[in-house]
Chains A and B, each alone.
Chain A
Amino acid sequence: MSGSLIRPGLRRVEQVMGTAISLDLADDLPPARLHELADDVFGWLREVDARFSTYRSDSEVCRFDRGEVLLSEASAQLRAVLERCADLWGDTDGFFDAYATGQLDPSGYVKGWAAQVASDRLIAAGATNHCLNAGGDVRVRGCSATGRPWRIGVRHPWDAMSTCLVLTGTDLAVATSGVYERGHHVLDPRRGAPATGLRSVTVVGRDLGVADAYATAAVAMGVAGIGWLDGLPDHPHAVITDGGRCLHSTRLPLAD
Protein backbone atom coordinates (compact mmCIF):
# COMPACT_ATOMS: atom_id res chain seq x y z
CA MET A 1 0.00 0.00 0.00
CA SER A 2 2.72 2.43 0.96
CA GLY A 3 4.25 1.77 -2.44
CA SER A 4 1.56 3.79 -4.13
CA LEU A 5 2.55 6.81 -2.10
CA ILE A 6 6.11 6.94 -3.29
CA ARG A 7 5.74 5.93 -6.92
CA PRO A 8 3.16 5.55 -9.64
CA GLY A 9 1.64 2.24 -10.61
CA LEU A 10 0.33 -0.77 -8.75
CA ARG A 11 1.76 -3.96 -7.36
CA ARG A 12 -0.30 -7.03 -6.62
CA VAL A 13 0.50 -10.62 -5.68
CA GLU A 14 -1.98 -13.47 -5.92
CA GLN A 15 -1.73 -17.22 -5.58
CA VAL A 16 -2.76 -18.80 -8.86
CA MET A 17 -1.70 -22.01 -10.60
CA GLY A 18 -0.20 -23.33 -7.40
CA THR A 19 2.32 -20.54 -7.14
CA ALA A 20 2.62 -16.84 -6.55
CA ILE A 21 2.07 -14.40 -9.39
CA SER A 22 3.52 -10.92 -8.87
CA LEU A 23 2.30 -8.11 -11.05
CA ASP A 24 4.02 -4.73 -11.15
CA LEU A 25 2.18 -2.14 -13.21
CA ALA A 26 4.49 0.85 -13.62
CA ASP A 27 2.34 3.13 -15.76
CA ASP A 28 1.14 6.33 -14.18
CA LEU A 29 -2.55 5.63 -14.62
CA PRO A 30 -5.55 6.37 -12.39
CA PRO A 31 -5.78 3.85 -9.54
CA ALA A 32 -9.17 2.60 -10.71
CA ARG A 33 -7.75 1.83 -14.13
CA LEU A 34 -4.73 0.07 -12.64
CA HIS A 35 -6.97 -2.11 -10.48
CA GLU A 36 -9.09 -2.92 -13.49
CA LEU A 37 -6.00 -3.98 -15.45
CA ALA A 38 -4.76 -6.11 -12.57
CA ASP A 39 -8.20 -7.70 -12.21
CA ASP A 40 -8.09 -8.62 -15.89
CA VAL A 41 -4.63 -10.19 -15.55
CA PHE A 42 -5.52 -12.33 -12.56
CA GLY A 43 -8.94 -13.18 -13.97
CA TRP A 44 -7.25 -14.52 -17.09
CA LEU A 45 -4.72 -16.50 -15.07
CA ARG A 46 -7.48 -18.11 -12.99
CA GLU A 47 -9.33 -18.95 -16.19
CA VAL A 48 -6.19 -20.66 -17.51
CA ASP A 49 -5.78 -22.53 -14.23
CA ALA A 50 -9.37 -23.80 -14.34
CA ARG A 51 -8.83 -25.06 -17.87
CA PHE A 52 -5.31 -26.44 -17.64
CA SER A 53 -4.75 -27.52 -14.04
CA THR A 54 -3.69 -31.14 -13.71
CA TYR A 55 -4.75 -30.97 -10.06
CA ARG A 56 -8.40 -30.38 -10.88
CA SER A 57 -10.09 -33.50 -12.18
CA ASP A 58 -12.76 -31.35 -13.84
CA SER A 59 -10.27 -29.26 -15.84
CA GLU A 60 -10.39 -29.53 -19.59
CA VAL A 61 -6.87 -30.96 -19.64
CA CYS A 62 -7.85 -33.80 -17.31
CA ARG A 63 -11.07 -34.50 -19.16
CA PHE A 64 -9.15 -34.52 -22.44
CA ASP A 65 -6.53 -36.85 -20.98
CA ARG A 66 -9.25 -39.25 -19.84
CA GLY A 67 -10.76 -39.21 -23.32
CA GLU A 68 -13.93 -37.43 -22.23
CA VAL A 69 -13.19 -34.54 -24.57
CA LEU A 70 -12.12 -35.19 -28.13
CA LEU A 71 -9.53 -33.03 -29.82
CA SER A 72 -12.21 -31.81 -32.21
CA GLU A 73 -14.34 -30.76 -29.24
CA ALA A 74 -11.52 -29.10 -27.31
CA SER A 75 -11.36 -25.36 -26.80
CA ALA A 76 -9.25 -23.27 -29.15
CA GLN A 77 -6.93 -22.58 -26.22
CA LEU A 78 -6.35 -26.24 -25.46
CA ARG A 79 -5.78 -27.07 -29.10
CA ALA A 80 -3.32 -24.19 -29.46
CA VAL A 81 -1.42 -25.31 -26.37
CA LEU A 82 -1.29 -28.93 -27.55
CA GLU A 83 0.00 -27.78 -30.90
CA ARG A 84 2.70 -25.64 -29.31
CA CYS A 85 3.70 -28.51 -27.01
CA ALA A 86 4.07 -30.74 -30.06
CA ASP A 87 6.21 -28.09 -31.76
CA LEU A 88 8.34 -27.75 -28.66
CA TRP A 89 8.73 -31.52 -28.43
CA GLY A 90 10.26 -31.39 -31.89
CA ASP A 91 12.32 -28.26 -31.23
CA THR A 92 13.83 -29.79 -28.11
CA ASP A 93 14.51 -33.18 -29.65
CA GLY A 94 11.89 -34.72 -27.37
CA PHE A 95 13.24 -33.33 -24.12
CA PHE A 96 10.31 -31.01 -23.56
CA ASP A 97 7.62 -33.61 -23.22
CA ALA A 98 4.09 -32.85 -22.06
CA TYR A 99 3.70 -36.62 -21.56
CA ALA A 100 6.95 -37.08 -19.61
CA THR A 101 5.07 -38.27 -16.53
CA GLY A 102 2.92 -40.68 -18.51
CA GLN A 103 -0.05 -38.35 -18.38
CA LEU A 104 -0.76 -35.18 -20.26
CA ASP A 105 0.77 -32.33 -18.29
CA PRO A 106 1.40 -29.21 -20.36
CA SER A 107 2.10 -27.11 -17.23
CA GLY A 108 5.72 -26.59 -18.32
CA TYR A 109 4.44 -24.49 -21.19
CA VAL A 110 1.12 -23.22 -19.87
CA LYS A 111 2.41 -21.04 -17.05
CA GLY A 112 4.78 -19.08 -19.28
CA TRP A 113 2.27 -18.93 -22.08
CA ALA A 114 -0.45 -17.60 -19.78
CA ALA A 115 1.85 -14.89 -18.45
CA GLN A 116 2.94 -14.00 -21.97
CA VAL A 117 -0.68 -13.62 -23.09
CA ALA A 118 -1.43 -11.50 -20.02
CA SER A 119 1.53 -9.25 -20.81
CA ASP A 120 0.48 -8.95 -24.45
CA ARG A 121 -3.00 -7.96 -23.32
CA LEU A 122 -1.60 -5.29 -21.02
CA ILE A 123 0.36 -3.85 -23.93
CA ALA A 124 -2.81 -3.84 -26.04
CA ALA A 125 -4.65 -2.09 -23.20
CA GLY A 126 -2.04 0.66 -23.10
CA ALA A 127 -0.10 -0.52 -20.04
CA THR A 128 3.25 -0.60 -21.78
CA ASN A 129 5.40 -0.61 -18.64
CA HIS A 130 4.94 -3.69 -16.50
CA CYS A 131 6.57 -6.73 -14.98
CA LEU A 132 4.74 -10.01 -14.52
CA ASN A 133 6.44 -12.72 -12.50
CA ALA A 134 4.64 -16.08 -12.67
CA GLY A 135 6.33 -18.37 -10.22
CA GLY A 136 9.78 -17.23 -11.25
CA ASP A 137 9.07 -16.87 -14.96
CA VAL A 138 9.29 -13.19 -15.75
CA ARG A 139 7.95 -11.01 -18.57
CA VAL A 140 8.98 -7.36 -18.52
CA ARG A 141 7.90 -4.55 -20.82
CA GLY A 142 9.09 -0.96 -20.88
CA CYS A 143 10.51 0.51 -17.70
CA SER A 144 9.91 0.19 -13.99
CA ALA A 145 8.25 2.96 -12.02
CA THR A 146 11.66 4.51 -11.45
CA GLY A 147 11.92 5.11 -15.18
CA ARG A 148 14.82 2.77 -15.86
CA PRO A 149 14.73 -0.61 -17.62
CA TRP A 150 13.59 -3.50 -15.47
CA ARG A 151 16.25 -5.32 -13.49
CA ILE A 152 15.72 -9.04 -13.08
CA GLY A 153 17.78 -11.06 -10.65
CA VAL A 154 18.40 -14.74 -11.34
CA ARG A 155 17.96 -16.77 -8.21
CA HIS A 156 21.03 -18.29 -6.63
CA PRO A 157 20.40 -22.04 -6.87
CA TRP A 158 21.66 -22.77 -3.38
CA ASP A 159 20.24 -19.76 -1.62
CA ALA A 160 16.69 -18.53 -2.11
CA MET A 161 17.64 -15.18 -0.67
CA SER A 162 20.24 -14.14 -3.17
CA THR A 163 20.84 -13.83 -6.86
CA CYS A 164 23.72 -14.90 -9.02
CA LEU A 165 23.12 -12.73 -12.08
CA VAL A 166 21.22 -9.54 -12.81
CA LEU A 167 19.64 -9.02 -16.21
CA THR A 168 18.17 -5.83 -17.54
CA GLY A 169 15.97 -4.87 -20.46
CA THR A 170 12.75 -3.30 -21.69
CA ASP A 171 11.33 -6.30 -23.54
CA LEU A 172 12.45 -9.59 -22.08
CA ALA A 173 11.01 -12.97 -21.26
CA VAL A 174 13.19 -14.62 -18.61
CA ALA A 175 12.46 -18.19 -17.57
CA THR A 176 14.40 -20.25 -15.07
CA SER A 177 14.02 -23.97 -14.57
CA GLY A 178 15.91 -25.89 -12.00
CA VAL A 179 16.07 -28.14 -9.06
CA TYR A 180 16.39 -26.37 -5.74
CA GLU A 181 14.35 -28.38 -3.35
CA ARG A 182 14.55 -31.97 -2.29
CA GLY A 183 11.82 -34.00 -3.92
CA HIS A 184 11.36 -31.55 -6.76
CA HIS A 185 12.91 -32.65 -10.02
CA VAL A 186 12.75 -32.44 -13.79
CA LEU A 187 12.23 -35.76 -15.53
CA ASP A 188 14.48 -36.85 -18.35
CA PRO A 189 11.73 -38.20 -20.61
CA ARG A 190 14.09 -40.59 -22.38
CA ARG A 191 15.21 -42.38 -19.26
CA GLY A 192 12.13 -41.72 -17.15
CA ALA A 193 14.41 -40.69 -14.31
CA PRO A 194 15.20 -37.33 -12.71
CA ALA A 195 17.65 -35.34 -14.80
CA THR A 196 21.06 -34.56 -13.32
CA GLY A 197 23.94 -32.34 -14.31
CA LEU A 198 22.35 -28.91 -14.38
CA ARG A 199 21.13 -27.24 -11.25
CA SER A 200 19.38 -24.39 -13.00
CA VAL A 201 18.95 -23.01 -16.49
CA THR A 202 17.79 -19.51 -17.37
CA VAL A 203 16.66 -18.75 -20.90
CA VAL A 204 15.95 -15.26 -22.23
CA GLY A 205 13.74 -14.60 -25.22
CA ARG A 206 10.61 -12.83 -26.35
CA ASP A 207 8.04 -15.56 -25.70
CA LEU A 208 7.85 -16.69 -22.10
CA GLY A 209 6.20 -20.03 -22.85
CA VAL A 210 8.97 -20.96 -25.29
CA ALA A 211 11.72 -19.70 -22.99
CA ASP A 212 10.30 -21.76 -20.12
CA ALA A 213 10.01 -24.88 -22.26
CA TYR A 214 13.58 -24.46 -23.50
CA ALA A 215 14.87 -24.01 -19.96
CA THR A 216 13.02 -27.10 -18.77
CA ALA A 217 14.24 -29.11 -21.76
CA ALA A 218 17.85 -28.10 -21.12
CA VAL A 219 17.61 -29.22 -17.49
CA ALA A 220 16.16 -32.53 -18.69
CA MET A 221 19.09 -32.97 -21.08
CA GLY A 222 21.64 -32.65 -18.33
CA VAL A 223 25.13 -31.44 -19.26
CA ALA A 224 24.34 -31.99 -22.93
CA GLY A 225 21.82 -29.19 -22.57
CA ILE A 226 24.68 -26.68 -22.54
CA GLY A 227 25.62 -27.55 -26.10
CA TRP A 228 22.00 -27.61 -27.14
CA LEU A 229 21.40 -24.13 -25.72
CA ASP A 230 24.43 -22.82 -27.57
CA GLY A 231 22.69 -23.78 -30.80
CA LEU A 232 19.76 -21.45 -30.12
CA PRO A 233 20.56 -18.17 -31.85
CA ASP A 234 17.70 -16.15 -30.39
CA HIS A 235 17.78 -17.33 -26.80
CA PRO A 236 20.69 -16.18 -24.63
CA HIS A 237 21.00 -18.27 -21.51
CA ALA A 238 22.78 -18.94 -18.24
CA VAL A 239 23.50 -22.37 -16.82
CA ILE A 240 24.58 -23.41 -13.35
CA THR A 241 25.83 -26.95 -13.13
CA ASP A 242 25.45 -29.37 -10.24
CA GLY A 243 29.12 -28.69 -9.57
CA GLY A 244 28.38 -25.01 -9.03
CA ARG A 245 29.82 -23.64 -12.26
CA CYS A 246 28.09 -20.79 -14.02
CA LEU A 247 28.18 -20.52 -17.79
CA HIS A 248 26.32 -17.99 -19.82
CA SER A 249 25.96 -16.63 -23.32
CA THR A 250 28.04 -13.61 -24.14
CA ARG A 251 24.81 -12.07 -25.47
CA LEU A 252 23.04 -12.39 -22.16
CA PRO A 253 21.64 -8.92 -21.29
CA LEU A 254 23.54 -8.54 -18.04
CA ALA A 255 23.14 -5.41 -15.97
CA ASP A 256 26.20 -3.16 -15.49
Chain B
Amino acid sequence: MRRVLLAITGLAAGTTALVVLKGSPQASQVAQNLPAAPSSSAVPSLSATGSSSAAPTTGAATPRPRATATRAPGSRTSASARPSTARPSSAPRTTTAAPPKSTTRTVTGTVVSNEYGNVQVQIVVSGDRIVRAVALELPQKFVQSERRNEEVEGRYSGTSGQVVQRQSADLDTVSGATATSNSYRQSLQAAIDRAG
Protein backbone atom coordinates (compact mmCIF):
# COMPACT_ATOMS: atom_id res chain seq x y z
CA MET B 1 0.00 0.00 0.00
CA ARG B 2 2.74 2.41 0.94
CA ARG B 3 4.55 1.62 -2.32
CA VAL B 4 1.40 2.29 -4.26
CA LEU B 5 1.00 5.62 -2.49
CA LEU B 6 4.62 6.49 -3.19
CA ALA B 7 4.22 5.55 -6.80
CA ILE B 8 1.08 7.64 -7.16
CA THR B 9 2.69 10.58 -5.38
CA GLY B 10 5.76 10.25 -7.56
CA LEU B 11 3.66 10.10 -10.71
CA ALA B 12 1.67 13.13 -9.62
CA ALA B 13 4.82 15.06 -8.78
CA GLY B 14 6.42 14.10 -12.07
CA THR B 15 3.36 15.09 -14.04
CA THR B 16 3.15 18.39 -12.20
CA ALA B 17 6.80 19.07 -12.89
CA LEU B 18 6.30 18.26 -16.55
CA VAL B 19 3.27 20.51 -16.76
CA VAL B 20 5.09 23.34 -15.01
CA LEU B 21 8.17 22.98 -17.16
CA LYS B 22 6.19 22.75 -20.33
CA GLY B 23 3.76 25.41 -19.31
CA SER B 24 6.09 28.13 -18.16
CA PRO B 25 7.44 29.21 -21.53
CA GLN B 26 3.96 29.15 -22.97
CA ALA B 27 2.69 31.38 -20.22
CA SER B 28 4.79 34.25 -21.49
CA GLN B 29 4.10 33.47 -25.09
CA VAL B 30 1.48 35.94 -26.05
CA ALA B 31 1.87 35.90 -29.76
CA GLN B 32 3.23 33.36 -32.16
CA ASN B 33 5.08 35.59 -34.49
CA LEU B 34 6.88 37.83 -32.07
CA PRO B 35 10.61 37.39 -32.35
CA ALA B 36 12.69 36.55 -29.36
CA ALA B 37 15.24 38.94 -28.00
CA PRO B 38 18.75 38.28 -29.25
CA SER B 39 19.94 35.14 -27.63
CA SER B 40 22.33 32.32 -28.08
CA SER B 41 19.88 30.47 -30.23
CA ALA B 42 20.93 27.88 -32.70
CA VAL B 43 22.96 29.47 -35.41
CA PRO B 44 22.86 27.96 -38.86
CA SER B 45 26.15 27.00 -40.29
CA LEU B 46 26.56 28.50 -43.69
CA SER B 47 28.30 25.73 -45.52
CA ALA B 48 29.44 25.30 -49.05
CA THR B 49 26.29 23.38 -49.75
CA GLY B 50 24.12 26.25 -48.66
CA SER B 51 21.06 26.68 -50.81
CA SER B 52 17.51 27.76 -50.52
CA SER B 53 16.75 24.76 -48.38
CA ALA B 54 19.33 25.93 -45.89
CA ALA B 55 17.42 29.12 -45.32
CA PRO B 56 15.49 29.09 -42.06
CA THR B 57 12.24 29.80 -43.81
CA THR B 58 10.44 26.93 -42.21
CA GLY B 59 11.30 28.10 -38.75
CA ALA B 60 11.62 24.51 -37.65
CA ALA B 61 15.02 25.03 -36.12
CA THR B 62 14.17 28.49 -34.95
CA PRO B 63 13.47 29.07 -31.29
CA ARG B 64 9.92 30.10 -30.67
CA PRO B 65 9.45 33.75 -29.89
CA ARG B 66 9.10 34.88 -26.33
CA ALA B 67 8.71 38.59 -26.48
CA THR B 68 5.90 39.56 -24.19
CA ALA B 69 4.85 42.80 -25.70
CA THR B 70 5.14 44.62 -28.96
CA ARG B 71 5.89 47.84 -27.21
CA ALA B 72 7.20 49.02 -23.92
CA PRO B 73 5.46 52.35 -23.44
CA GLY B 74 7.60 53.35 -20.49
CA SER B 75 10.77 53.29 -22.49
CA ARG B 76 9.60 55.54 -25.24
CA THR B 77 8.78 59.09 -25.73
CA SER B 78 5.41 59.74 -27.15
CA ALA B 79 4.94 63.32 -28.00
CA SER B 80 1.56 64.68 -28.82
CA ALA B 81 0.14 65.08 -32.26
CA ARG B 82 1.33 68.00 -34.24
CA PRO B 83 -1.14 70.47 -35.57
CA SER B 84 -1.89 69.98 -39.19
CA THR B 85 0.18 72.30 -41.28
CA ALA B 86 0.22 70.40 -44.51
CA ARG B 87 0.29 72.51 -47.59
CA PRO B 88 -2.72 72.04 -49.78
CA SER B 89 -0.93 71.13 -52.95
CA SER B 90 2.39 70.37 -54.49
CA ALA B 91 2.70 73.82 -55.93
CA PRO B 92 6.25 75.07 -56.13
CA ARG B 93 7.48 76.94 -53.10
CA THR B 94 9.46 80.03 -53.62
CA THR B 95 12.68 81.00 -51.98
CA THR B 96 11.93 84.69 -51.86
CA ALA B 97 11.57 84.68 -48.09
CA ALA B 98 15.26 83.97 -47.63
CA PRO B 99 17.15 87.13 -46.77
CA PRO B 100 19.95 87.37 -49.29
CA LYS B 101 23.46 87.15 -47.92
CA SER B 102 26.65 87.83 -49.69
CA THR B 103 27.75 84.18 -49.55
CA THR B 104 24.41 82.73 -50.51
CA ARG B 105 24.29 80.39 -53.48
CA THR B 106 21.37 78.62 -55.04
CA VAL B 107 21.89 75.13 -56.41
CA THR B 108 19.21 73.60 -58.59
CA GLY B 109 19.12 69.88 -59.23
CA THR B 110 18.22 68.25 -62.49
CA VAL B 111 14.66 67.14 -63.18
CA VAL B 112 14.35 63.46 -62.46
CA SER B 113 11.38 61.45 -63.68
CA ASN B 114 10.03 58.44 -61.91
CA GLU B 115 6.88 56.41 -62.15
CA TYR B 116 4.97 59.00 -60.15
CA GLY B 117 6.09 62.05 -62.06
CA ASN B 118 8.92 64.57 -62.07
CA VAL B 119 11.06 65.66 -59.14
CA GLN B 120 13.30 68.68 -58.97
CA VAL B 121 14.97 70.17 -55.95
CA GLN B 122 16.62 73.46 -55.26
CA ILE B 123 18.70 74.35 -52.25
CA VAL B 124 20.09 77.62 -50.98
CA VAL B 125 23.53 77.50 -49.41
CA SER B 126 24.89 80.15 -47.14
CA GLY B 127 28.57 79.62 -46.50
CA ASP B 128 28.73 75.88 -46.08
CA ARG B 129 25.23 75.41 -44.72
CA ILE B 130 21.99 74.64 -46.42
CA VAL B 131 19.58 77.29 -45.29
CA ARG B 132 16.68 76.29 -47.45
CA ALA B 133 15.63 73.38 -49.61
CA VAL B 134 12.55 73.33 -51.74
CA ALA B 135 11.00 70.90 -54.13
CA LEU B 136 10.43 72.87 -57.31
CA GLU B 137 8.46 70.03 -58.74
CA LEU B 138 6.91 67.01 -57.13
CA PRO B 139 4.67 64.27 -58.48
CA GLN B 140 0.97 64.83 -58.03
CA LYS B 141 0.77 61.73 -55.88
CA PHE B 142 2.69 63.55 -53.20
CA VAL B 143 -0.55 65.32 -52.39
CA GLN B 144 -1.88 62.01 -51.14
CA SER B 145 1.33 61.40 -49.28
CA GLU B 146 1.06 64.71 -47.51
CA ARG B 147 -2.39 63.86 -46.26
CA ARG B 148 -0.95 60.72 -44.82
CA ASN B 149 1.85 62.67 -43.24
CA GLU B 150 -0.61 64.60 -41.14
CA GLU B 151 -1.35 61.46 -39.21
CA VAL B 152 2.20 61.25 -38.08
CA GLU B 153 2.74 62.01 -34.45
CA GLY B 154 5.48 63.15 -32.18
CA ARG B 155 8.74 64.40 -33.49
CA TYR B 156 7.75 63.21 -36.89
CA SER B 157 7.50 66.18 -39.16
CA GLY B 158 4.90 66.74 -41.76
CA THR B 159 5.60 68.38 -45.06
CA SER B 160 8.90 69.00 -46.69
CA GLY B 161 8.75 72.73 -46.20
CA GLN B 162 8.26 72.47 -42.48
CA VAL B 163 11.03 70.04 -41.96
CA VAL B 164 13.55 71.81 -44.03
CA GLN B 165 12.96 75.12 -42.36
CA ARG B 166 13.22 73.64 -38.93
CA GLN B 167 15.91 71.02 -39.27
CA SER B 168 17.69 70.69 -42.55
CA ALA B 169 19.63 73.92 -42.30
CA ASP B 170 22.17 72.15 -40.14
CA LEU B 171 22.35 68.76 -41.79
CA ASP B 172 25.64 67.21 -42.79
CA THR B 173 24.20 64.00 -44.19
CA VAL B 174 21.01 61.96 -44.44
CA SER B 175 20.36 58.39 -43.39
CA GLY B 176 17.76 56.60 -45.44
CA ALA B 177 17.25 53.45 -47.43
CA THR B 178 18.69 54.75 -50.66
CA ALA B 179 18.51 51.44 -52.41
CA THR B 180 19.32 52.55 -55.91
CA SER B 181 21.25 55.19 -57.75
CA ASN B 182 17.95 56.55 -58.97
CA SER B 183 16.56 57.01 -55.49
CA TYR B 184 19.80 58.71 -54.54
CA ARG B 185 19.43 61.22 -57.33
CA GLN B 186 16.06 62.19 -55.92
CA SER B 187 17.28 62.47 -52.37
CA LEU B 188 18.18 65.27 -50.03
CA GLN B 189 21.60 63.65 -49.67
CA ALA B 190 22.19 64.25 -53.37
CA ALA B 191 21.27 67.90 -52.90
CA ILE B 192 23.73 68.18 -50.01
CA ASP B 193 26.44 66.53 -52.10
CA ARG B 194 25.81 68.84 -55.03
CA ALA B 195 26.23 71.81 -52.76
CA GLY B 196 29.77 70.59 -52.11
Name A's B-contacting residues (CB within 8 A). 1-4, 6-7, 11, 13, 15, 18-20, 22, 24, 64-65, 67, 69-72, 82-83, 85-87, 89-95, 97-100, 102-104, 131, 133, 135-138, 140, 144-146, 150-156, 158-167, 174-182, 184, 189-190, 192, 200, 202, 221-228, 230-232, 240, 243-250, 254-255
Is A230 touching B72 in the complex (CB atoms < 8 A)? Answer: yes
Is B149 touching A159 in the complex (CB atoms < 8 A)? Answer: yes
B42: A residues at CB distance < 8 A: 90
Q: State which of B55, B173, B190 has its C-beta within 8 Å of the C-beta of A140.
A: B173
Query: Is B62 among interface residues, defined by CB-CB distance under 8 A?
Result: yes
Is B174 touching A164 in the complex (CB atoms < 8 A)? Answer: no
Interface-lining segment among B2-10, B20-28, B94-102, B156-164: B156-164
Is B43 touching A6 in the complex (CB atoms < 8 A)? Answer: no
In Å, the complex CA distance between A81 and B146 comes to 40
Say whether chain B's binding surface is mostly helix, strand, loop, or mixed: loop
B179: A residues at CB distance < 8 A: 19, 135, 181, 184
Q: 16 A-B residue contacts at CB 8 Å? A: A6-B127, A6-B128, A19-B178, A22-B189, A24-B172, A133-B174, A152-B174, A154-B174, A158-B146, A190-B57, A190-B62, A200-B177, A224-B70, A225-B35, A230-B72, A250-B77
In Å, the complex CA distance between A208 and B75 comes to 24
Is A250 touching B196 in the complex (CB atoms < 8 A)? Answer: no
CB distance from B196 to the nearest CB of A (A): 3
In Å, the complex CA distance between A255 and B38 comes to 29
Is A153 touching B188 in the complex (CB atoms < 8 A)? Answer: yes
Is A97 touching B55 in the complex (CB atoms < 8 A)? Answer: yes
In Å, the complex CA distance between A81 and B45 comes to 12
A222: B residues at CB distance < 8 A: 33
Is A192 touching B133 in the complex (CB atoms < 8 A)? Answer: no
In Å, the complex CA distance between A250 and B45 comes to 36
The number of chain B residues touching the other chain, given as a range, is 35 or more
Q: State which of B55, B115, B155, B171 has its C-beta within 8 Å of the C-beta of A182.
A: B115
| Extra A-B contacts (14), CB below 8 Å, given A155-B176, A246-B156 | A3-B196, A22-B189, A82-B46, A90-B44, A97-B55, A136-B189, A165-B155, A228-B67, A230-B72, A243-B151, A244-B152, A247-B154, A248-B77, A250-B77
In Å, the complex CA distance between A146 and B172 comes to 10
Is A227 touching B46 in the complex (CB atoms < 8 A)? Answer: no
B171: A residues at CB distance < 8 A: 151-153, 163, 166
Is B46 touching A153 in the complex (CB atoms < 8 A)? Answer: no
Is B175 touching A176 in the complex (CB atoms < 8 A)? Answer: yes
In Å, the complex CA distance between A139 and B41 comes to 29
Name B's A-contacting residues (CB within 8 A). 31, 33-52, 54-57, 59, 62-63, 65, 67-72, 75-78, 103, 105, 115, 119, 121, 127-129, 133, 135, 138, 142, 145-146, 148-149, 151-157, 159-160, 162-164, 167-168, 170-181, 183-184, 186-193, 195-196
Knowing A3-B128, A162-B157, A163-B171, say if A154 contacts B63 (CB, 8 Å).
no
A22: B residues at CB distance < 8 A: 173, 189, 192-193
In Å, the complex CA distance between A82 and B49 comes to 13
Is B168 touching A153 in the complex (CB atoms < 8 A)? Answer: yes
Is B54 touching A99 in the complex (CB atoms < 8 A)? Answer: yes
In Å, the complex CA distance between A225 and B70 comes to 8
Q: State which of B33, B173, B181 has its C-beta within 8 Å of the C-beta of A224.
A: B33
B67: A residues at CB distance < 8 A: 224, 227-228, 231
For residue A172, which residue of chain B has the nearest CB?
B175
Q: State which of A69, A85, A160, A231 has its C-beta within 8 Å of the C-beta of B37.
A: A231
Is B183 touching A180 in the complex (CB atoms < 8 A)? Answer: yes
Is B151 touching A2 in the complex (CB atoms < 8 A)? Answer: no
In Å, the complex CA distance between A136 and B193 comes to 13
Knowing A15-B181, A245-B152, say if A161 contacts B196 (CB, 8 Å).
no
Q: Top 6 closest A-B pairs, CB basis?
A: A155-B176, A3-B196, A99-B55, A246-B156, A231-B37, A102-B52
